[in-house]
Structure 1
Amino acid sequence: MSATLSRRVVSLPLPDRPISPTASQRVTPLHTSLTLTPTLHISRTSRTSRTIPSLTLLPHLSQLSKDDESSSTDAEVTREDQDRINRFSSLHNRVRTLEEQLAAKKKDKEDLEEVGQELELVLDEDELVRYKVGGTFYSIPLAEAQEMLGTATEEADKEIEALDDKVGGVRDEMNGLKAELYARFGRGINLEA
């Protein structure tokens, strides 16, 4: 005698509650976002009863007001638009890197100025001063140390100025791209960081 099991599947919606999406679901096109709607699947067999939870992925419009929705454009993203967005992203990363380098150079310059103030406190001009070049300390006369320090400070000023110019140029290009992209997509794109 053989027994057969009959199986019936019933889908019931669970009460609405927010579920945070995974990292892969956070990447969304322009003004649409994906929200998860939980669904409960109940399987029944003649001998056992099991509950299998699952999640159904449904696209929904983002939480924009009616005015925002009407002002946003449903423009299709072309290859050129995507290239501009990618270029803006790479420029944004470049600016952050340059700003970190700029902050480090400014810190180095402050350190050099502090060393210069310490050297002014040395009373005996014939005294040898330990001056670090690379990873090695050298004992040199005070006048030579002050001269080397002045040269290092001038070089730091030039590097800071060059980095400032680079940051300004990259920011100008970013502002141009931002204007183009906002003109094309309106509030459907967010380029603020």
Structure 2
Amino acid sequence: MPAYPRQELEEMVARWLAANGRAEREGNWAKHLGALYTDDAEYGWNLGPDLEFLARGRKEIEEWALGIHMQGFEQWRYPYEKILIDDQQGEVIGFWRQVAPVKRDDGRDYQVAGIGGSWFRYGGQFRWCWQRDFFDLGNVRALFMELAADGRLESPVKQRIRRLARGESLPGVYPLGASPSLGKKLKGWWAMARIVVLGR
């Protein structure tokens, strides 16, 4: 992977954060984030031990990752806590939180415990060419159960959970390891994870 000017990657991150802010305020993720991906970009995440999501190309990213799979999350916030930039490899890792737009009766936010993140690969011209999200699915499920019990889980989210539980198909969701090309893009994932987690 090529090296990129540090200033260019910092500007890319600034544009990304600004677009996230606009998306959160307006509740439209595809409108504000879609333009920040290359036409052939890939965006994926894991859905547990058996499933993964992958959108291939900007159109699928806008329609699936930022559209269908964000229904019910239009008003959620994803504040970034830390961003690491590797200008030699053209990669960025951002760590964020997931905060619901409603509060508990005691005034505390409903938010996913722990921290999630996104691993980006830069494609030049202020666009990402690859993205992989990671988060603690157990904590996500626990929060969804709490929101559901309190009558505050959005209907589109409940419908997607039901469909997944029944084994029904959702756009971009594949059996683990069967997505079209995510496996090829993830060469070195475990090596990178060892460095981040274990320091070696």
| Fold in common (TM above 0.5) | no
Specify the structure having the higher radius of gyration (Cα): 1
Structure 1 or 2: more strand by fraction: 2
Query: What TM-score bracket applies, with the shorter chain setting the length?
Result: under 0.3
TM-score of the superposed pair, with normalisation by structure 1:
0.20
TM-score of the superposed pair, with normalisation by structure 2:
0.20
